[in-house]
Amino acid sequence: MDPYKVLGVTPQTSDDDVKRAYRELARKYHPDNYINNPLADLAEARMKEINEAYDMIMNERSGKAGGAGGQQYGGQQYGGGQQHAYSGANAALYSQVRQAINQGNLGLAEQLLQRSSARDAEWFYLMGTVYYRKGWYDEAMRAYTQACQMDPSNMEYRTALNNLNMSGGYGGYRPMQEANMCDMCMQLAICNCCMNMCCNAGC
Amino acid sequence: MFGFIRPVKSELRVREADRFQQVYCGLCHAIRARYGRFYTLFLSYDMTFFVLVAGAEREGTPPPCRKRCDAHPLLKRPCAAPDDALALAADVSVLLSYHKFRDSLADEKGAKRLLAWLLCGLGKRGYQRARARLPDADREIVAALDDLQAIEREKCPSMDRAADASARMTAAVVPRTGDARERVLRQMFYHIGRWVYLLDAAQDVAEDLEQGNYNPVVLRYDLRTPDLTEIKDALERTLERSLADVCMAFDLLDAQRDAELIRNIIFLGMPLVTRQVLDGTYQTNGGWGKHGSL
């Protein structure tokens, strides 16, 4: 791997510009932009490559062999977060559905949900997530909205709905203003990412 | 497809605008060389975009060649040199055009139906040749189109379900390479297809209401009048989500050739057309007098 090529810079580029190029790429491929996206694994691999390239360049320049090369984005672990608190009559079914969704088996998840006769808030939330993963954003929005109406206090549902409504706005995609990236957006993105880590981990 | 996919010319460099025109002309010549004049009549900006994306992994653009054509019989115009991206796009154009005729034959009534029948007849031989070249793509398109027609018959009120069938049709044209690139392109073209279908439905609301045709946007929002003001935001949001997915997929593509031109189309052109359709200011251009001129 040529780290300079990965970051799109040359050995003559100044440290500041390397850092800028790195940040720009890290913003683009940040895992938060790819939540519920079927290409999330590819973005993650790209992010890893970018981090490695940045480390290599910075280590090489500071004459160190290994060690930290500055702050990094995107290394967060998503697993292990808060467990969802559902404990209703369909708990067993819903945990099966969540498992299917996490494994990317959307067909199975949808089948399990359709077969069940329950139509509670959790059902709509899970159905919304299946739709979200499939890119059926209008159906996802309706299902999430329904879940939030049925259980307004549930943060997981609320976060999912917010995510769906907002990521079109600034999750890596800003139609007319993509060139002037401001720090504000970055901070928002990081805030958002923290929230997601806490609230989205279950599913 | 419908011609929604085009660059914002004022934001293009001169050489990028030239390149777009050359690819458009190159595609026309590729279709003519492989399938004869008939299918060049259905050339579109959408397919020009497909050529750009299909060839984006190449490094470097070969110099254009100069050719004469029916639209410009006197002066030779610069055209993109033939390559396999152009050949693929020519095959795909023929498949999609033919299935569009077939779809119209199933949907339309009266004079339009007669025209569709005529086009089906005239296009049949070309279609058979294209099908022999891309059998898998054709099978997938046929299956998706059958689904779409069933969905239309049962007057399905789910925008996503209807758009899904149409989107699978556009995703089907991605070459089967079995690698990450295929996954990225499929995701990209799925959401391009979803966007085109829903935007086209929004554009046709007035006409479909008047004629009582199936229209997923009308059914989803239970529209009685062709006024989109109230549903504009919701519709824009769902369309923007698909555009975001197109952009994010494109970011993973590692485009070498024409990257700036493609970026212009998906980051500027498509959002612009979305807004224009939703606030009713969209104008089709191109068409007869304006071959390849933006």
Alpha-carbon gap, residue B54 to B52, rounded angstroms: 6
Which tokens belong to B124? 């049949």
Residues of B in contact with A171 (CB under 8 A): 244
Q: What phi, psi does B24 have (nearest 5°)?
A: -60, -50
Q: Least CA distance to A171: which residue of chain B?
A: B244
- Record: fold of A91-199: 1.25.40
Radius of gyration, CA atoms only, chain A: 20
| Contact yes or no for A29 and B191 at CB 8 A | no
| Contact yes or no for A42 and B252 at CB 8 A | yes
pLDDT tens-digit map of A130-170 = 999 999 999 999 999 999 999 999 999 999 999 888 755 44
DSSP label at B62? P
Q: Where in chain A is the domain with CATH 1.25.40.10?
A: 91-199
Please state the three-class secondary structure of A130-181 as a single string.
HHHHHCCHHHHHHHHHHHHHHCCCCHHHHHHHHHHHHHHHHCCCCCCCCCCC
pLDDT band at A201 (very low <50, low <70, confident <90, very high): very low
Distances, alpha carbon A65 to alpha carbons A57, A58, A70, in Å: 11, 10, 14
Which tokens belong to B57? 């992994």
Alpha-carbon gap, residue A193 to B50, rounded angstroms: 34
Chain B interface includes A178 (CB < 8 A): yes
Full-model pTM: 0.87
Domain count, chain B: 1
pLDDT band at A172 (very low <50, low <70, confident <90, very high): very low
B181 within some domain? yes
Whole-number pLDDT of residue A76: 45
| Lowest mean pLDDT across A136-145, A179-188, B102-111, B265-274 | A179-188
pLDDT tens-digit map of B17-41 = 999 999 999 999 999 999 999 999 9
B128 within some domain? yes
Q: Taking residues A85-97, what's their average pLDDT?
A: 81
Chain A interface includes B241 (CB < 8 A): yes
A residues 26-85 near B, CB within 8 Å? 28-29, 33-34, 37-39, 42-43, 46
Is residue B65 classed as helix, strand or coil in its secondary structure? Answer: strand
Q: Taking residues B159-166, what's their average pLDDT?
A: 96
Chain B interface includes A138 (CB < 8 A): yes
Q: Least CA distance to A137: which residue of chain B?
A: B238
Percent residues over pLDDT 90 in chain A: 51
Q: Taking residues B220-239, what's their average pLDDT?
A: 91
| Contact yes or no for B190 and A37 at CB 8 A | no
**DSSP character string of A18-68:** HHHHHHHHHHHT-GGGGTT-TTHHHHHHHHHHHHHHHHHHHHHHHT-SSS-
pLDDT band at B280 (very low <50, low <70, confident <90, very high): confident
| Contact yes or no for A135 and B194 at CB 8 A | yes
B103 within some domain? yes
Alpha-carbon gap, residue A173 to A170, rounded angstroms: 5
pLDDT tens-digit map of B116-149 = 999 999 999 999 999 999 999 999 999 999 999 9
Whole-number pLDDT of residue B8: 93
Whole-number pLDDT of residue B94: 96
CATH number for the domain spanning B75: value is 1.10.600.10
| Contact yes or no for A165 and B237 at CB 8 A | yes
B residues 245-264 near A, CB within 8 Å? 245, 247-249, 251-252
pLDDT band at A178 (very low <50, low <70, confident <90, very high): very low
Domain span at residue B122? 9-281
| Contact yes or no for B245 and A37 at CB 8 A | yes
Whole-number pLDDT of residue A84: 58
Q: Least CA distance to B182: which residue of chain A?
A: A39
Place of tokens 């254009």: B64
Nearest Cα of chain A lies from the Cα of B162 at a distance, in angstroms, of 10
B261: amino acid identity, one letter? L
Query: In this model, does residue A87 exceed pLDDT 80?
Result: no
Q: Taking residues A36-48, what's their average pLDDT?
A: 93
Q: Taking residues B76-105, what's their average pLDDT?
A: 94
Q: Does domain A3-62 have CATH number 1.10.760.10?
A: no
Q: Where in chain A is the domain with CATH 1.10.287.110?
A: 3-62
Inter-residue contact A144 to A160 (CB < 8 Å): yes
Top pLDDT among A174 and B280 is at B280
Mean pLDDT estimate for chain B: 91
